[in-house]
Structure 1
């Protein structure tokens, strides 16, 4: 074969090969055939999400969807306001946010275990239970959200712990934060309870809305409840506050609500978690600077998710009982764990490693704010 023809064939093969290389790169970047759930990478989100570049992570770690849980309570003002004002959506960019409402923490933990939830706002005791029951593999607390906002409300003729003997008291759910609080307080007052509703005082895990109805009808004598339900029992059902939980804590501060993230989601999508936290930080500043607008947002969201908004006197009375903060108040978590173990609803285990405040503290220090502490319970 003439040398000229050989050279032409080699040239054509070279041109074709060079043309194929960029096409293969495009196909590879598209990630075809692997987009089944929120843990799969969305390349567009990875390139466009505000969190991707700021997290210092390589492109390709943004989640296509973030499934976020929370409760329709005043103590969950942060997610309610953040969703309403669009702070999360702005920071998450092309990552879709899918909200899910829960009545209490244990149900949210089960959703996290089942893989149908990526992150949730939740109380400390379910966070501990979820961590210990999975040997630390399920979740990490990445921020605090709320302090305070829980009280024991009782019938007007009940004036002390002793008066509760033989009575029925509600909590939102067995093993939840308020459930542990009421059992621990009763135990300190020498009143026994058990997880089946027996003992000196019967603890009846009950949906918050149902608690209000049963309290009105006289079937319940009280409830240890988060806001706005504690205030609703007072204003709508003639109850009185026997114990404001803030009075049981130094400086009146204790963790009521945390933000937790499924551990594998945090590891796969740190930039998405960073975007979520940026949204929370913006929301916290907004709430603390705009109380009236924040209350209006919470009420609008309660109407959206529960089909009923709060009367203005109720939300006005409930609002001062909470403090919106990014500090997880980690020192209070140890006491809460010990109380949960003591009353038999929490497994005793080492909770070191339950916190991962790395991203939160990075964002706080970058904005000139002090870092928050993990009380020695941070990443191992």
Structure 2
């Protein structure tokens, strides 16, 4: 079998990081977990990983389909679960059904706040960008949205919070019960497309590829590209979180997962055409059919793949959640543990990423 350049990247990473792994483990022995578990009990027998079948989760999709996670995990078995939106993934994480998940920032913030800072840690970024408010013909301004019905993937999810906060800034009342000047209804993404095509929805604030699907398959147009609301156009769409007790018990396993993620991101950057195939295969497996090439191309063009979790943006995302009524104000100090990620980055000659004063780095 011929080995692709991207697989060679993964193997090169493994070779480089073997001596560094032991050092990273010693550095990662943080405070004892909420359930009193002793840190560092060795590699896990199994890693249960969650992610979404969205292009904004491409590092996860490529990590699974390209074998990057399994290669780095070695003797640790990998099992996966696909979610539609963040709150459902957090429920699974809190229930112990998954150990780690790729997810948007606002559900991670909610989990951290509700647990008093105990339940989860953000260990890496994954993607920046790839979310838009797309609407029907005839809506050209915020004021045109009065009396309309808009969708988001799930109440309290990252796009749900972004829409509600933006509407409030525009002077348009909304609430989590669907009332106000604009009715916001959390709706599963595939159903959003169908309802929009049938004229039952006026638009939605959606992640990729769903924003592109409404534009290219249903005649929507972009009213707000979320990147225009952030400095330098960079905003967190997806990052990787881990249950705190799992991180403390099995730092070797989390480090292996991070090596696999970095290899997948390298492949996405170096071989976009090849990795689009892998992403589309995973989306087809979850949704029943692949995306048209033009949808995939548009979605990829809207996203930056990066392990940097853009920590400095998190206080704004928390404030947006407070405005949206989906979370309460809180101290986010401790939400990040980037020590393993930065160990991997340094071992491969890359710059470490900051936690912006909100945790270990």
TM normalised by structure 1 equals: 0.85
Task: Give the counterpart of 1:103 among 84, 89, 104.
Answer: 84
Name the residue aligned to 2:3.
none
* Paired residue secondary structure (1:191): coil
Give the Cα separation in 1 of the matches to 2:22 and 2:341.
11
Cα deviation for residue 55 of structure 1 reads 3.3
Name the residue aligned to 1:333.
314
1:198 maps to 2:173:
no
Q: Compare relative contact order (CA 8 Å, sep 6+) and give the higher one, 1 or 2.
A: 2
Aligned residue runs from structure 1 range 1-380, under 5 A? 54-56=21-23, 57=25, 61-379=42-360
Name the residue aligned to 1:37.
none
Give the Cα separation in 1 of the matches to 2:278 and 2:351.
28
| Aligned partners of 1:148 and 1:256 also within 8 Å | yes
Could you tell me which runs of 5 or more consecutive residues in structure 1 were left unpaired when the two chains were aligned: 1-49
Cα deviation for residue 276 of structure 1 reads 0.3
Residues 192 and 52 from structure 1, CA distance in 2 versus in 1: closer, same or farther, beyond 3 angstroms? Answer: farther
Cα deviation for residue 366 of structure 1 reads 1.2
Give the Cα separation in 1 of the matches to 2:89 and 2:147.
31
Give the Cα separation in 1 of the matches to 2:18 and 2:54.
28
Give the Cα separation in 1 of the matches to 2:225 and 2:96.
36
| Aligned partners of 2:155 and 2:186 also within 8 Å | yes
Give the Cα separation in 2 of the matches to 1:53 and 1:356.
17
Name the residue aligned to 1:17.
none
TM normalised by structure 2 equals: 0.90
**Residue deviations 1:32-63 (CA, integer Å, cap 9, x gap):** xxxxxxxxxxxxxxxxxx97982344995110
Cα deviation for residue 379 of structure 1 reads 3.7
Give the Cα separation in 2 of the matches to 1:191 and 1:144.
32
Number of residue pairs matched by the alignment: 331
